[in-house]
Amino acid sequence: MNQIDRRIFLKTGLAGVAASGLSRPSPVAAVPDRDDEIVNGAEHAWLINDKSFPINPKLSNCPNSKPRRNYSMEHLLAEMQVHGIARTVISHVCYYGTDNSYSSHCVKSHPDRFAAIGLLVGHGLHRPGDPENPGRLERLMKRDHLVGLRLSPIYDRNTVWMNDPVCYPLWKRAQELGAVFNIFLAPHQLPQVADMAHRFPGVKLVIDHFAMIDITRPDSEGIDQILALKKFPNVYVRTSLHNPSQQKPPFRDMWPYLRKVYDTFGPRRMIYANFYELLIMKDLIPFFTAGDKKWILGKTARSVYRFGKK
C-alpha cells in the first residue's frame, strides 16, 4: 500500500470502524495517568510545497509516489487530541528519503509528544556497506534527536543485506547508542532479524506490519516465523492489522494471528499503531486483559522509543 492509498484508507478505515457500532471519540485532553497514556506507534508526517522542508525526488526512496496534500505535525496533534492519544511515533516518510529534517523538526518542536525513526540505509537510500553509515546514525540521533531507523529489506526481496557483515559497524554503533530499528520485511527475511537480534541484543527491533504475512498461506510460511523470534527479548511486534488482512475494518481475519502474537510475546512486547486501528485495539479485541491493554496501547511504546530524550 503506497502512502497516498494509505491516506485514502485512513478515511475508509475510520468509517468502517464506525460502522461496526463504535463512534469516533470526542476531543479529549491527554490522560494524566502515565499508565493509561495511549501511544500511537506509527504515523508518517510531511508537507507539500513548503520551502523549509522541500520534497526532493533525488533523495526519496519512492520518487514515483508523491503526496497530494499535507499530513503535517499540526494535523497529527489534532488527531491525537481527537483520539485521546498522548504521544505518537513518527516513521519518517519515503517522500523525504534521507532528508530526515521534517521528522527532526517535529520531535524538537514537541519532544514530549513525538519520537521519530529515520531513513538512511537500504533501497533507494545509502548503500548498506557505506562506511559513513555509523556516523550518519549517530548524527541523526544526537543532533536531530531521532531514536533510530526504519530498515525496509522488503524492497530488496532477492538481496540479502540486512545481516550482511558489511552492516555490522552500523549495528554496533546502533547498540552503543541504544537505537531502535523498525523492520519492514517479508516473512522469508525474518531469519535475518533473528541473526542480528542475537548478534546485537542492545538494539531494539520492531517488526512492522506482521512482516506482511500472506494469511492465505500455511502458518509455517508466515506467522510461525514471527513467533520464532520470541526467544530474542529485544524483538517486538507492531500490531498493525490492515496490511495482511483480506477484509475491511475491523480486520477480523487477523484476530487469530494477533492472538498468537499476544500469547507468545506477551503485551510488553507488542506496540499498537495507526489512528484508525485504535478503536479496534482498545474496544473490540476480546482477549486483551485491562492491564495488558495498557502495555499494548502505550507503555511498551514508551519504553522502546524513549520520548523526550535529547
Domain ranges within the chain, ordered by starting residue: 3-305
For the chain, the residue count is 310
Q: Give mean pLDDT, residues 210-236.
A: 98
Task: Report whether pLDDT(92) > 80.
Answer: yes
- Given a contact cutoff of 8 angstroms between Cβ atoms, the answer to whether 74 and 16 are in contact is no
Return the ∠ at Cα 26 (arms to 25 and 30), rounded to 5°: 90
- Chain-centre distance for alpha carbon 30: 22
Interval 227-254 mean pLDDT: 97
The chain-wide mean pLDDT, for the chain, equals 91
Is the confidence at residue 25, as pLDDT, over 80? no
Cβ neighbours of residue 287 under 8 Å, at least 6 residues apart? 259, 262
The candidate with the shortest Cα–Cα distance to 243, out of 270, 215, 281, 272, is 215
pLDDT score, position 22: 45
Q: How confident is the model at residue 310 (pLDDT cuts 50, 70, 90)?
A: low
Cα pseudo-dihedral 157, 163, 164, 165, rounded to 10: 170
Please name which of 154, 155, 68, 72 lies closest in space to residue 114, comparing C-alpha atoms: 72
From residue 260, how far is each of 18, 22, 54, 264, 297 by CA, in Å?
26, 25, 42, 6, 17
Q: Class of the 3-305 domain? A: alpha beta
The predicted structure's pLDDT at residue 35: 85
Q: State the pTM of this model.
A: 0.90
Q: Average pLDDT, stretch 229-258?
A: 97
Q: Give residue 26's pLDDT.
A: 41
Q: Which residue has the cell 531502535?
A: 180
pLDDT at 309 (0 to 100): 63
Rounded to whole angstroms, the Cα distance separating 304 from 209 reads 17
| The pLDDT of residue 232 | 98
Per cent of the chain over pLDDT 70 is 89
